């Protein structure tokens, strides 16, 4: 009986021959050397010319740039990921600024909307209501136990697009691709999961190509019982994994985080990751406006997961400046679909009560802006073009450098564009968005808008947690991550209008954040590991590099 060798990541090497070409972890395609072709039984199964990885990258990029639409580019690049993961990550890492909008926002949103129609090959795991009673057994079908990071969604609130059910799988896949591309988490240690508890999307329920359960979404006690079985199974099968909640609806996101954050090593990227990256942008803006955070008033449009996460992080900074929690919260205001959130309003949900202040009601954002006179306006509403010309100009009328953050994703949901923010403030705005916008030239000056992309935060946080062996993820880790990110912004980048470092520096950013997070874990005794003497080099040594091994002697 043949005993198959295993790699250091506990992956069984393929048998001889065509199996090597069909396994995306080990496939090198036309880059298999002459010696490997003889040793692995590949002679005759490949064209005779042995290509370098650089030649393969050139072919991929030529095809990529010749595609007629972003969704076609998405299909092509995900197809490469399914065939040859090493080459996929080499392409993404070498061309991150070009690839990020395709494998992540905004194109991934369109991909999720069409997921059943463009589906080619299953990736990750689907855990559905059909699996109740034996979810643990289902999770054990995953081919390796060496999973370091799970990103899971129930598809209820995909970006600003709403309930996409099982078609939301594109988000966990994309997020985990960035864990690897930005922070070097090994791709075999990443597991995307879609939790299919139904969908209320009538279009999908009637679509014969929809890939999920054809039933309405469950809720209440039934949903809680299913999630409890699922989370218990995750803890048993992958006891040391970092678990990321992604794109759950507001009604569940806060509850699930609070329920499980002390049971597993877990966080919610929509709450904590968004809060952290936005805080970094705010701290960068302070370098321009001057003064302290306590000199500012922040008005949010949208009172969901993202807004609350950002607000809570700002409160932490304000308390570091000496304010009490109550005083800090008084500097933060929210407008939701019913207007300004004030104490006199009835039936406020718990997470909104913290930011409900004594004030006369304001029916809409414009009247709230005029009443509150914010120095910072933050959009996390998922409602496109809600920062109108009058609203932005009003904010600009009482601020020399108005801070305008239009953070809703994808691009089609942004509260305003970069061009609008700069034009309506005569170039004075300090602007950031959730999805990318092109540079804007106004009155002879070019402004480079900042993208408050969670990819600046969550990969580095994940790397720091995994490398340190942290048992829990804390809010203070995300504040430390935000400070580390803001500190990396160079003066010349700030002069261009950027509030975030160039994405070209993402590996430097992720490493710096990972070190900050690991230091937090060691300082608060959240790990049993001893701190390495050279923490930077220790973490750097664990980062995956997309290079082909030599399999000729395996």
Q: Token pair 């170039």 is at which residue? A: 427
User: Which of the following is catalytic: 28, 110, 148, 175?
Assistant: 175
Q: Does an H or E element contain 39, and which?
A: helix 34-39
DSSP notation for 478-546: HHHHHHHHHHT--HHHHHTT-SS--GGGHHHHHHHHHHHHHHHHHHTT--SSPPPSSHHHHHHTTS---
Q: Note if 355 is an active site residue.
A: no
Cα 542 to Cα 463: distance, rounded to the nearest angstrom: 9
Q: Token pair 């799970």 is at which residue? A: 150
Cβ neighbors of 257 (< 8 A, separation 6 or more) are 245, 266, 267, 268, 271
Count CB atoms within 10 A of the CB of residue 225.
12
Cα 284 to Cα 281: distance, rounded to the nearest angstrom: 5
Q: Note if 104 is an active site residue.
A: yes
Count CB atoms within 10 A of the CB of residue 349.
10
Beta strands per DSSP E along 135-238: 149-153, 190-196
Going by C-alpha positions, the residue among 399, 400, 375, 377 that lies closest to residue 387 is: 377
Count CB atoms within 10 A of the CB of residue 450.
29
Count CB atoms within 10 A of the CB of residue 121.
10
Cβ neighbors of 127 (< 8 A, separation 6 or more) are 135, 138, 139, 193, 194, 195, 196, 230
> What's the distance, Cα to Cα, between the start and end of the chain in Å?
18
Pairing, β 265-268 against β 298-301 = unpaired
User: Which of the following is catalytic: 28, 74, 89, 104?
Assistant: 104
Going by C-alpha positions, the residue among 308, 292, 261 that lies closest to residue 470 is: 261
Q: What share of the chain is helix, strand, coil (3-state, %, to 5)?
A: 50, 10, 40
SS3 call for 105: coil
* 22 exposure class (CB count in 10 Å sphere: 0-12, 13-18, 19+): exposed
Q: Token pair 């340190």 is at which residue? A: 468
- Alpha helices by DSSP H, 126-198: 135-139, 170-183
Q: List residues with catalytic annotation.
A: 104, 175
């Amino acid at each position: 009986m043949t005993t198959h060798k295993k790699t250091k990541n506990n992956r069984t090497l393929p048998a001889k021959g065509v199996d090597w070409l069909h396994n995306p972890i080990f496939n090198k395609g036309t880059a298999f050397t002459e010696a490997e072709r003889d040793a692995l039984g590949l002679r005759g199964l490949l064209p005779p010319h042995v290509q370098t990885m650089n030649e393969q990258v050139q072919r991929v990029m030529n095809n990529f740039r010749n595609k007629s639409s972003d969704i076609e580019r998405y299909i092509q690049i995900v197809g490469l990921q399914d065939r040859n993961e090493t080459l996929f990550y080499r392409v993404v890492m070498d061309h991150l600024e070009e690839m990020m909008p395709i494998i992540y926002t905004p194109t991934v949103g369109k991909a999720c909307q069409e997921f059943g129609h463009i589906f080619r090959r299953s990736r990750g795991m689907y855990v559905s209501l059909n699996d109740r009673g034996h979810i643990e057994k289902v999770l054990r079908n995953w081919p390796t136990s060496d999973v370091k990071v799970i990103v899971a969604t129930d598809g209820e609130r995909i970006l600003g697009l709403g309930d996409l059910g099982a078609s939301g799988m594109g988000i966990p896949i994309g997020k985990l691709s960035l864990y690897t591309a930005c922070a070097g988490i090994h791709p075999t240690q990443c597991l995307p999961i879609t939790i299919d508890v139904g969908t209320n999307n009538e279009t999908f329920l009637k679509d014969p190509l929809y890939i999920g359960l054809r039933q309405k979404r469950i809720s209440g006690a039934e949903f809680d019982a299913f999630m409890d079985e699922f989370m218990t199974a995750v803890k048993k099968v992958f006891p040391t994994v970092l678990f990321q909640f992604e794109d759950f609806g507001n009604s569940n996101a806060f509850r699930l985080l609070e329920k499980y954050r002390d049971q597993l090593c877990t966080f919610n990227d929509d709450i904590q990751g968004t809060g952290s990256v936005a805080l970094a942008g705010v701290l960068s803006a302070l370098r321009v406006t001057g003064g302290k955070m306590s000199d500012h008033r922040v008005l949010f449009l949208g009172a969901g997961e993202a807004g609350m996460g950002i607000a809570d992080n700002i409160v932490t900074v304000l308390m570091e400046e000496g304010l009490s929690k109550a005083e800090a919260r008084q500097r933060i205001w929210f407008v939701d679909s019913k207007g300004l959130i004030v104490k006199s309003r009835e039936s406020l949900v718990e997470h909104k009560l913290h930011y409900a202040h004594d004030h006369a009601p304001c029916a809409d954002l414009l009247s709230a802006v005029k009443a509150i006179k914010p120095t910072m306006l933050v959009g996390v509403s998922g409602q496109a073009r809600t920062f109108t010309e009058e609203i932005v100009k009003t904010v600009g009328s009482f601020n020399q450098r108005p801070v305008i953050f239009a953070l809703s994703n994808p691009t089609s949901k942004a509260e305003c564009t970069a061009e609008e923010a700069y034009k309506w403030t005569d170039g004075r705005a300090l602007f950031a968005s959730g999805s990318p916008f092109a540079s804007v030239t106004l009155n002879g000056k070019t402004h480079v808008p900042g993208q408050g992309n969670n990819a600046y935060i969550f990969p580095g946080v994940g790397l720091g947690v995994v490398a340190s062996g942290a048992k829990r993820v804390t809010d203070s880790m995300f504040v430390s991550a935000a400070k580390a990110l803001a500190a990396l912004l160079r003066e010349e980048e700030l002069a261009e209008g950027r509030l975030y470092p160039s994405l070209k520096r993402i590996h430097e950013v992720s490493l710096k954040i990972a070190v900050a997070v690991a230091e937090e874990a060691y300082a608060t005794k959240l790990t049993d590991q001893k701190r390495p003497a050279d923490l930077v080099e220790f973490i750097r040594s664990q980062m995956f590099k997309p290079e082909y091994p030599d399999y000729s002697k395996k």
